[in-house]
Structure 1
Amino acid sequence: MLTVLFLLDRFSLLLTKILMVSVVCIVGLHLIGATPARSQSPLAPEVQQAIGAEPGSVVLDGKTLFQIRSNFGPLSALQRANLTNEQLSAVASNLQISPESVRAENVQGITLIVAGEKNVHITTITPEDAKAEGATQETLTQKYVATIRSSLITFREQRSIEKIVRGVGYAILATLLFWLTIRLLNKLFAVTLDRLGNWLEHYSDRLKDANRGVLPITPFITVILHFAELGRSVLYLFLACVYLFMIFGFFPWTQGLSSNFWAIIGATLAETERAIVGYLPNLFTLVLIVFITREILAFIHLFFKEIKLGSISLPWFYADWVQPTFQLVRFFVFALALAIAMPFIPGFKSPAFQGVSLVLSALLTLGAASAVSNIIGGFIVVYTRSFQIGDMIKIGELIGIVLEKDVLVTRIRTPKNVVITIPNSTILSSNVINYSTLAKDLGDTTGLVLHTTITLGYDIPWQKVHQVLIEAAQATPQILSNPAPFVLQTSLNDFNVSYELNAYTDCPEYSPEIYSDLHRNIQDKCNEVGIEIMSPSFLALRDGNHSTIPEDYLPNDYKTPGFYVDASKSQPPT
């Protein structure tokens, strides 16, 4: 009764926890839904009208100079930006064209930006471009000309010999500084670990005494050390990134990567933040599913534990069913929880996730058929209770004591101390002979019947044979006196009689030793009463030979008999 009340109390506590977590998740979801989303200020309607397609960026040496937002004739804004980039790169590489030669020329309301004496065309400014930028065409032209001139000057200054030599020097200095920093951090980390280890070794007993009855401190120190190792790796990675982007910033060909480093980091962090905030509702749902599953499994584990301890009695439920039944129930709870949680896992609806799922399903279907059959066979073996741990069984031609019953295999130990692993599917398709079921049954007093057969001649009285065999069985250790041994005459052969000795034992695991002792006692008892165990072919030449009984059992005056010849029946030669 107390156990039932305890289980009911645990069940009510489980429902209370689930209710509290559900309320917290619902409130959190409402708070997330009430958070105002970040919105970008839209462009003015007239600007949106002027933009004909996706804008294109004009870039020189990794730096964005301006953007082209409108189409011009058959060219889209992106195509115009690509052509401008090609022309601008050609002008920047041509040292005969000075930055001061960049100028604007008006042709029928359209402004052309050209450079050099040959009027190399760089870009075109249309009224639609000015309208898209929200400025006049003249103002936009002056801005573009000034931007292009300054970018050309910077481009050529960065590629001067002085700048390159200075960049090489800065790169060497940065490399040396990076190497010294890594060496210093390695030494600092090693010294910290040594001091912490010495401190733990010196104060371990004191820590154990001070922390007795609470929690061991060593696992926490190990966890802290692992986190410290992780932090060191992250720090090294960050320093390596900073070093690389510093090196990139010293040379004009890679300055674009360096100048965009923090922009890349910022964009990555912003994207990560958006992904995390957007995933929070699903995360709350997953947390709720995990919590409910954990509490249900804890309650199920407690229920089966009470059954195993005997606090809860179910007449139809055997003790050896507790563990496999718990495993089955736990598997189905896990499977149900996983099926409910799968739609809330990140990337569940992505083609990559679905493709991997299909591949794994195909692999499991094709390669796990044998394992599934073994698992099913293992549970069938458990629930049919064909044998238990410690039983002496025979499966096919294999005989041994059961050492282990697993979900996939069963292990037995043969009388020769050889451990054999048998798949459960093989057991399911074979006959299982259990020598221990009745021998260990307290309600059964018969035990296991051991039997052996000998053949003796017709000249020996059967009553004498029965008596000798029963005495041999009674003299054998681990043979039960009650029920008493008995002898069956199984066949009357041409030259001998088959006598089968049957004896009971409650120790089937010692059958080989019992058989050996029984056969030895049969030999001794037969020799004591003068019974020779011989084959018919030996009996045919018996007259005149020495007895086969050992010397210890023969009389002191025994002599080997001679051949007997009946002269009265002999016929004279004719």
Structure 2
Amino acid sequence: MRVPVLLRSWALLMHGARSPVACLLLMLGLLLPASAWAQAGAPEGAAATTTMQQAAPAPAHVVVLNRKVALLRAYFLGVPPAERAQRAEQTIRDLLDKGGPGTVSVQQAPQGSLLMIDGAFALILVPEDADKVSGESFEALTQRSAQALSHAIAETREARDKGRLMRALLYSALATLVFAIAVWGAWRLRQLLMARAARMLEKRTAKLQADEASLLHPSRLRTAVRWLLGFAAWLVMAALAYEWLVFVLTRFAYTRAWGEQLGDFLFSVLQRIGGGVLRALPDLIIALAIFLLARGVIALLKPMFERAEHGRGGGPGWLDQDLAVPTRRIVTAAVWLFAIAMAYPYLPGAQSEAFKGISVLVGLMLTLGGSGLVGQGASGLLLMYSRTIRVGEYVRINDQEGTVTELGTFTTKIRTGLGEEISLPNSLIMSSVTKNYSRTIRGKGYILDTVMTIGYDTPWRQVEAMMTEAARRTEGVLDTPPPRVFKTALQDFYVEYRLVCQAIPAQPRPRAEVMQVLHSNLLDVFNEHGVQIMSPHYLGDPPADKVVPRSNWYAAPAKKSEDAAPAT
């Protein structure tokens, strides 16, 4: 039964072979079974065959007109895949040079499948050429190789057709013209959009001002618009160039494989991106739902904090006006951190090693570099919840004295009334002695106090009356509670008096300004009654009293103001 098949195979091989030696080798390969070649296929017998099988050869492609026809992976008759591919390419070129219809057929032989062109042998495939990793069958490999060979033959005929070549050149020229017009149009559109967008943004942002200064500089705005539109234009032109190149390459048979590879690459990239987006879409929806739920919880709690912040009540008993703002910030941060922790597993790429590495790096940076920041924040929270100081109170911290204007998480700002605003770190305030001039009073305002030293020869009742009178003359000092004078020390040569009063002007003024008026009135009252101010130390009576007569109160270059205190 094998004789007719062998004779027919021998005839086919003789028709496509190029030399008597090749004919002889092919006949031996068909006549001898595979087991015989396994024992006598090499000079060293079975040992050489085993060595050849163990050494995996490098696969080689059979390429015809830039078209990959087959991938050879195994030895055949001791010939490596690379040499087999070279011989097959040469045989196919010779057969195509002879002309003919170029019909591809498949003949089965004991050693594998024979690909024939117009009945002549072109290529042999053995079962070992099938890809065992992907599980491709030998029959599928044979069929795919035959189709690829037929396609390559058709493109070879097309490449030799002058009429089709001229049409390809014409189509390429038209495509080039369309590409040039599209690039020109994209560039012109960029310039038009740049001018209109710059004018529109300048007109819209002209109203965004702070302290009569524009928040967005026009030159920087134009630069940003120019950069964005330029990037978009170059992106569009790059896409047009890519499509033009793919179209031109696919017009010619010789370069069609390259064009198809470029087109498949772009399509595969878009497919991977689109597939990734679609696969991640359910998880993104879950993460979005978590964030929306967190936002809803914050919106639900917002009215309660607003009522407490404006002093309207309606919140928990411990939540007063001073704690409303920091508590709202803490609750908001806690809700968002919890939402991020819950949504983290559903974020795209959260399980990748790169994402985990970046998370560890960010955590390490915050741990090493944020210790001081965390300490400042903790000090700010302690200040807020301990109610050591409040906004609007007049305090003295170290050598700084002023009204608290802002109690932040990290810093506290006070205004001295001398044209200065001082920012103090919260950790410094926690570690310093704080004197609060506003805490002991009722309602708004602050405490004024000043110290004077007067000799023992002046009656203490007169001193108290004069200091009280100076306080009453001072605009902004309240009559209720009345000013009080305390004798804080009896020194060797003088008595130390401290005046304490409460001030809250009808039109709020800085404490430093009110203190300046109070000190001026003290000097005036004591001069009016001829009492010397022996401060800070009283060592003895001078030859003449150290007082200023009323006639010299406005000596040049001083000028008397209309609101000067009348004499009593």
Aligning the two structures, in what range does the TM-score lie when normalised by the shorter sequence? 0.5 to 0.7
C-alpha contact (below 8 Å) 1:489/1:498 kept by paired residues: yes
1:221-280 residue CA offsets vs partner (Å, 9 max, x unmatched): xxxxxx999997875453232123345557899654322233234433443454344334
Matched with 1:477 is: 475
What letter corresponds to residue 507 of structure 1 in structure 2? I
The match for 2:522 is 522
Distance in 2 (alpha carbons) for counterparts of 1:464 and 1:311: 50
Query: Residue 424 of structure 1 corresponds to which residue in structure 2?
Result: 426
Could you tell me how far apart the structure 2 residues matched to 1:339 and 1:502 are?
59
Secondary structure (helix, strand or coil) at the match of 2:406 reads: strand
Q: Does 1:504 align with 2:501?
A: yes
- Partner deviation per Cα, 1:46-67 (whole Å, 9 max, x = no partner): xxxxxx9999754455422234
Structure 2 distance, partners of 1:62, 1:435, is 91
Deviation at 1:450, TM superposition (A): 0.9
Distance 2:519 2:283 in 1: 75
Match of 1:63 in 2: 67
User: What is the match of residue 455 of structure 1?
Assistant: 454
Seen in structure 2, the aligned counterparts of structure 1 residues 362 and 392 have a Cα distance that, compared at 3 Å, is same
Structure 1 CA distance, aligned partners of 2:536 and 2:358?
Answer: 75
- Larger displacement relative to structure 2 (404-413 or 270-279): 270-279
| 1:371 CA displacement | 2.0
Deviation (angstroms), 1:394: 2.0
Which residue of 2 is the match for residue 572 of structure 1?
A: none
Per-residue deviation, residues 388-445 of structure 1 (Å, max 9, x unmatched): 2222122222212222222232222122221222222333333332212223537xxx
Match of 2:344 in 1: 342
Write the letter of the residue equivalent to 1:178.
F
Q: Paired residue for 2:443? A: 441
CA contact (8 A) 2:476 2:514 kept: yes
Q: Which amino acid aligns with 2:286?
A: T
Q: CA deviation at 1:323?
A: 2.6
Structure 1 pair 83–518 and aligned structure 2 pair: CA distance change class (3 A): farther
Structure 1 residue aligned with 2:392: 390
| Contact persistence 1:400–1:415 (CA under 8 A) | yes
Letter in structure 2 aligned against 1:66: A
CA distance in 2, matches of 1:269, 1:481: 81
Counterpart mapping for 1:99-498 below 5 A: 100=97, 125-126=125-126, 132-134=137-139, 174-185=175-186, 187=188, 235-246=236-247, 248=249, 256-308=257-309, 310=312, 312-441=314-443, 448-456=447-455, 458-494=456-492, 496-498=493-495
- Aligned-residue CA RMSD in angstroms? 5.3
Classify the secondary structure of the residue corresponding to 1:134. Answer: helix
Q: Give ranges in structure 1 of 5+ residues lacking alignment.
A: 1-51, 115-121, 200-226, 555-574
Aligned partner of residue 344 in structure 2, secondary structure: helix
Q: Is the 8 A contact 1:402 1:412 kept in 2?
A: yes
Q: CA deviation at 1:497?
A: 0.9
**Separation in 2, partners of 1:136, 1:365:** 59
Change (3 A) 1:553 1:392: same
Mapped contact 1:527–1:553 kept (Cα < 8 A): no
Q: Which residue in 2 is equivalent to 1:119?
A: none
Shift of 1:362: 0.9
Say if 1:253 and 1:493 are closer, same or farther in 2 by CA, change over 3 A. farther
- From the superposition, tell whether residues 124 and 465 of structure 1 become closer, same or farther in structure 2 (CA, over 3 Å): same
Whole-angstrom CA distance in 2 between matches of 1:361 and 1:147: 58
TM-score by length of 1: 0.62
CA shift in 2, pair 1:176/1:65, >3 Å: same
What is the distance in 1 between the residues matched to 2:186 and 2:451?
A: 81
Retained in 1: the 8 A contact 2:484–2:500? yes
Answer yes or no: is the 8 Å Cα contact 2:453–2:535 preserved in 1: no
Go from structure 1 to structure 2 and tell me whether the alpha carbon gap of 1:189 and 1:351 turns closer, same or farther (over 3 Å shift).
closer
- CA distance 1:248–1:361, shift in 2 (3 Å): farther
CA contact (8 A) 2:398 2:432 kept: yes
Q: Which residue does the alignment assign to 1:12?
A: none
TM-fit CA distance, 1:83 = 5.7
Shift of 1:86: 6.5
Q: Between 534-543 and 447-456, report the one with greater CA deviation.
A: 534-543
Following superposition, the deviation at residue 149 of structure 1 comes to: 7.0
Q: What's the offset of the Cα at 1:377?
A: 2.1
User: Does the CA contact (< 8 Å) of 1:395 and 1:427 recur in 2?
Assistant: yes
The aligned length equals 452
C-alpha contact (below 8 Å) 1:111/1:141 kept by paired residues: no
> Contact between 2:413 and 2:422, CA under 8 Å: does it hold in 1?
yes
Percent identity between matched residues is: 23
Q: More displaced, 290-299 or 361-370?
A: 290-299
SS in 1 for 2:451: strand
After TM superposition, give the deviation of residue 540 of structure 1 in Å: 6.5
Instruction: Say whether the 8 Å CA contact 1:452–1:500 is kept in structure 2.
Output: yes
Q: Which runs of 5+ in 2 are unaligned?
A: 1-55, 100-105, 117-121, 131-135, 201-227, 553-568
The counterpart of 1:549, out of the listed 504, 528, 547, is: 547
SS of the residue 2:533 aligns to: coil
Give the CA deviation at 1:358: 1.0
CA spacing shift, 1:180–1:322, aligned 2, 3 Å: same
TM-score, reference length from structure 2: 0.62
Rounded to whole Å, the distance in 2 between the matches of 1:552 and 1:198 is 69
Instruction: Return the alpha-carbon distance in structure 2 between the equivalents of residues 536 and 290 of structure 1.
Output: 66
Higher relative contact order (CA 8 A, sep 6+): 1
* Cα distance in 2, alignment partners of residues 143 and 387 from structure 1: 87
Distance change >3 Å, CA 453–CA 408, structure 1 → 2: same
Provide closer, same or farther for how the CA distance between residues 547 and 345 of structure 1 changes in structure 2, counting only shifts above 3 A: closer
